[in-house]
Amino acid sequence: MQIARIETFVVPPRWLFVRVEATDGAFGWGEGSLEGHAEAVEGAFEALRDRFIGANPQRIEDIWQIAYRGGFYRGGPVLMSALSGLDQALWDLKGRALGVPAWELLGGRVRDKVRAYAWIGGDRPHEIGAAARARRAQGFTAVKMNATPELDWLGTPKLFDEVVARVQAAQAEGMDVGLDFHGRVHRPMAKQLAKALEPLGLLFIEEPLLSENHEGLSQIAHLVATPIALGERLYSRWDFKPFFESGAVDIIQPDLSHAGGLSECRRIAAMAEAYDVAVAPHCPLGPLALAACLQLAATAPNVAIQEMSLGIHYNTGGHDLLNFVVNKEALTPVDGFLPIPQAAGLGVEIDEAAVREADKDRHRWRNPIWRTGDGSFAEW
């Protein structure tokens, strides 16, 4: 068996799918979506095709090592997202060829289902409450929401009161809540806000500071009892290593479409387990990314909860997570949990004809730009 084709598809709302086909007709799907940079990831596949057309697709680890190390320059969001999509597709292909789920090839299941959470938006408590009720109707018992609007360096008690009221509105609907700071809060305010939120019993606070501010994150982690979560902007086990060593993180959030695919994220999860750190994979992406996450949840004992984008909140044009998926039940939450897929490979069946048709109208999605009240740039 040899790799005959490696195809990429830029499909709405902002996804990049990968299809690998072998000479005997075996195939697999993966997802290398990198929000706002699909063209760059697609360009990185030119080098991957040159290296791996003709290679044995069963040798997943050898392909991973060559793709990561063989080009001399390594790491970063673009190269790692391309490698992630390829890696997922190879696990899907191998599982399909052998007739077993990818988790079976990784050592078998440690659980039958995994708890899931979804995003809610809204600026006022009544909007938050309505959004929480809608998520409950979809089968969720946990949500994530913005901690703050776009903020300056200093805050006020009034602002903290507003954040607390919004969290309480979601909790009043029976939801457990994680709060995402998006790294948009500077250290002086992040410390105050994290302390003000501590009595609420949050699932976690995410990116209270940007991950490049390692020292500040360590300070906040030792200041409050609320679990600190981060990792969506880290791309390899080497990126995560200093956070484990310093005790700056309680929950890591590697993205299986950014951080080297199923292969690398399984290694990252194993490293986290040694430091008693939980895993909650980042996944505001498409169905193949989520399916890969569920393979990780099946095999990594320290996976605590899974993000998913059912009814994706920043979606346009009627697209959602289950577009292009034939067996939609595989990615549908029930009583707050997602089932571990039982079908071969990644466990989802993709409507290939629909993907090829959608690729004709390729998206040009770009990250929105936000500004603070004084007109300066704000983190998204």
Interval 7-23: pLDDT, tens = 999 999 999 999 999 99
140 & 193 share domain: yes
364 in a structural domain: no
Burial class (CB within 10 angstroms; exposed 0-12, middle 13-18, buried 19+) of 66 = middle
Q: What is the CATH number of the domain that holds 334?
A: 3.20.20.120
pLDDT band at 154; cut points 50, 70, 90? low
Q: What is the CATH number of the domain that holds 64?
A: 3.30.390.10
Q: Is the backbone peptide bond immediately before 12 cis, with ω within 30 degrees of 0?
A: no
Residue 39: inside a domain: yes
Which comes out higher in pLDDT, residue 41 or 323? Answer: 41
Active site residue 222: no
Query: Do residue 89 and residue 149 come from a single domain?
Result: no
Number of domains in the chain: 2
pLDDT at residue number 7: 98
Neighbours of 40 (CB within 10 A): 14
Residues 15 and 92 in one domain: yes
Please give the pLDDT value at position 153.
Answer: 56
**pLDDT number for residue 12:** 93
Query: Is 75 within the bounds of a domain?
Result: yes
* Per-residue pLDDT, 312: 44
Structural domain includes residue 270: yes
Q: What is the pLDDT of residue 362?
A: 94
> Is 9 in the same domain as 39?
yes
Q: Which of 103, 130, 145 is the last residue of a domain?
A: 103
Tell me: the pLDDT tens digits for 196-248?
A: 999 999 999 999 999 999 999 999 999 999 999 999 999 999 999 999 999 99
Q: Encoding tokens for residue 71?
A: 């080009």
Q: Is residue 356 part of a domain?
A: no
Cβ 19 vs Cβ 29: under 8 Å? yes
Q: What is the pLDDT of residue 183?
A: 86
Do 133 and 40 lie in one domain? The reply is: no
Q: From the centroid of its chain, how far is CA 138?
A: 20
Residue pLDDT, tens place only, 156-199 = 667 888 899 999 999 999 999 999 998 888 888 889 899 999 99
Do 249 and 210 reside in the same domain of the chain? yes
Here the tokens at position 206 are: 């995410």
Helical (H) or strand (E) element with 337: strand 337-339
pLDDT digits (tens, 9 = 90+) for 281-325: 999 999 999 999 999 999 999 999 999 987 644 443 445 889 899
Same domain? For 74 and 203 the reply is no
**Shared-domain flag, residues 108 and 83:** no
Q: What is the pLDDT of residue 358?
A: 95
Mean pLDDT of 61-68: 98
Whether residues 278 and 150 share a domain: the answer is: yes
Whole-angstrom Cα distance, residue 237 to residue 335?
33
255, two tokens: 């993205």
- Catalytic pick among 37, 182, 258, 363: 182
Task: Take residue 334 and report the two structure tokens written for it.
Answer: 């029930």
Q: Could you tell me what percentage of the chain is helix, strand and coil, using 3-state DSSP and rounding each to the nearest 5?
A: 40, 15, 40
From the list 37, 258, 282, 363, the catalytic residue is 282
Could you tell me if 7 and 148 lie in one domain? no
Query: What contacts 163, CB < 8 A, 6 or more positions away?
Result: 147, 148, 179, 193, 196, 197
User: Two tokens at 156?
Assistant: 């006020």
**Residue 363 falls inside a structural domain:** no
* Domain co-membership, 307 together with 276: yes
Residue 306 shares a structural domain with residue 244: yes
Q: Establish if 307 belongs to a structural domain.
A: yes
For the segment 349-366, the average pLDDT, to the nearest whole number, is 96
Asked if residue 374 belongs to a domain, the reply is: no
Half-sphere exposure of 127 (CA within 13 A, CB side): 7
The Cα 340–Cα 256 span in angstroms is 16
φ and ψ at 345, to 5 degrees?
A: 65, -135
Q: Which residues 6+ apart lie within 8 Å of 50 measured at CB?
A: none
- The H-or-E segment that residue 19 falls in is strand 15-22
Compute CA 72 distance to the chain's CA centroid, rounded to the nearest angstrom: 27
pLDDT in tens, 71-115: 999 999 999 999 999 999 999 999 999 999 999 999 999 999 999
Last residue of a domain, one of 88, 103, 118: 103
The range of the structural domain enclosing residue 130 comes to: 104-344
| Last residue of one domain, picked from the residues 103, 124, 156 | 103
Tell me if residue 316 falls in helix, strand or coil: coil
Q: Give pLDDT, residue 151.
A: 57
Decide if 319 is catalytic.
no
Q: String of b and e for 130-165 (b: at least 16 CB within 10 Å)?
A: ebbeebeeebbbbbbbbbbebbeeebeeebbebbbe
